[in-house]
Chain A
Amino acid sequence: MNRIDAQPTSGASDTDRPLVFDVQGLNVFYGDFHAVRDVELPVRQNEITALIGPSGCGKSTVLRSLNRMNDLIPDARVEGQVAYHGVDLYGPEVDPVQVRRHIGMVFQKPNPFPKSIYDNVAFGPKIAGVRSGLDDVVEDSLKRAALWDEVKGKLSESAYALSGGQQQRLCIARAIATRPDVILMDEPASALDPIATLRIEELMFELKEDYTIVVVTHNMQQAARVSDRTAFFTVEVGEDGTRTGVLVEFGDTSTMFTNPSRKETEDYITGRFG
Chain B
Amino acid sequence: MTNRSVPTTGDLVAGALKGRRLDVGGFVLVVGLLLALLISMIVLVTLIADMIQQGLPVLAERGWAFVSTPLSPDAHDAGIVQGIMGSLGLMLFVVVIAFPVGVASAIYLEEYAPDTRLTRFIVANVRNLAGVPSIVYGLLGLAIFVKLLGGITGGRTLISGGLTLAILVLPIMIITASEALRAVPMAIREAAFGVGATRWEVIRYQVLPVATPAILTGTVLTIARAFGESAPLLLSGAVLSLFFASPSGATLWDFVAHEKYTALPIIVFNWARQPQKEFVALTAAAIVVLLAILLLVNATAIVLRDRFERRT
**A contact residues vs B (CB 8 Å cutoff):** 67, 69, 72, 74, 97-101, 104-105, 107, 109, 111-115, 123-124, 127-128, 158, 160, 171, 174-175, 177-178
Could you list some 6 contacts between A and B, CB below 8 A?
A107-B187, A107-B191, A112-B191, A113-B206, A114-B312, A124-B195
Per-residue CB contact flags for chain B residues 177-203 toward chain A (1 = under 8 Å, else 0) read 000000001011111111111100100
B190 partner residues in chain A, CB cutoff 8 A: 69, 72, 107, 111
Determine whether the beta carbon of A174 is less than 8 Å from that of B195.
Answer: yes
Distance to closest chain A CB from B207 (angstroms): 10
User: How many B residues, CB 8 Å from partner?
Assistant: 21
Of the candidates B114, B115, B191, the one whose C-beta lies within 8 Å of that of A171 is B191
A112 partner residues in chain B, CB cutoff 8 A: 191
Smallest Cβ-Cβ distance to B116: which chain A residue: A74
Identify whether the interface residues of B are mostly helix, strand, loop, or mixed. helix
**B contact residues vs A (CB 8 Å cutoff):** 114-115, 185, 187-198, 201, 205-206, 209-210, 312
Of the candidates A100, A111, A128, the one whose C-beta lies within 8 Å of that of B187 is A111
Smallest Cβ-Cβ distance to A174: which chain B residue: B195
Determine whether the beta carbon of B194 is less than 8 Å from that of A114.
Answer: no
Distance to closest chain A CB from B183 (angstroms): 12
Q: Roughly how many angstroms separate A128 CA and B115 CA in the complex, as a whole number?
A: 30
Determine whether the beta carbon of B191 is less than 8 Å from that of A113.
Answer: yes
A97 partner residues in chain B, CB cutoff 8 A: 196-198
Smallest Cβ-Cβ distance to B191: which chain A residue: A111
Determine whether the beta carbon of B187 is less than 8 Å from that of A109.
Answer: yes
Determine whether the beta carbon of B196 is less than 8 Å from that of A100.
Answer: yes
Most buried by B among A69, A127, A128, A178: A127
Of the candidates A107, A115, A158, the one whose C-beta lies within 8 Å of that of B194 is A107
A177 partner residues in chain B, CB cutoff 8 A: 195
Determine whether the beta carbon of B196 is less than 8 Å from that of A98.
Answer: yes
Q: Roughly how many angstroms separate A105 CA and B209 CA in the complex, as a whole number?
A: 23
Distance to closest chain B CB from A20 (angstroms): 18
Q: Roughly how many angstroms separate A74 CA and B114 CA in the complex, as a whole number?
A: 7
B185 partner residues in chain A, CB cutoff 8 A: 111
Q: Roughly how many angstroms separate A58 CA and B196 CA in the complex, as a whole number?
A: 23
Q: Roughly how many angstroms separate A222 CA and B273 CA in the complex, as a whole number?
A: 80
Of the candidates A101, A115, A127, the one whose C-beta lies within 8 Å of that of B312 is A115
Determine whether the beta carbon of B205 is less than 8 Å from that of A127.
Answer: yes
Determine whether the beta carbon of B192 is less than 8 Å from that of A113.
Answer: yes
B195 partner residues in chain A, CB cutoff 8 A: 100-101, 104, 123-124, 127, 174-175, 177-178
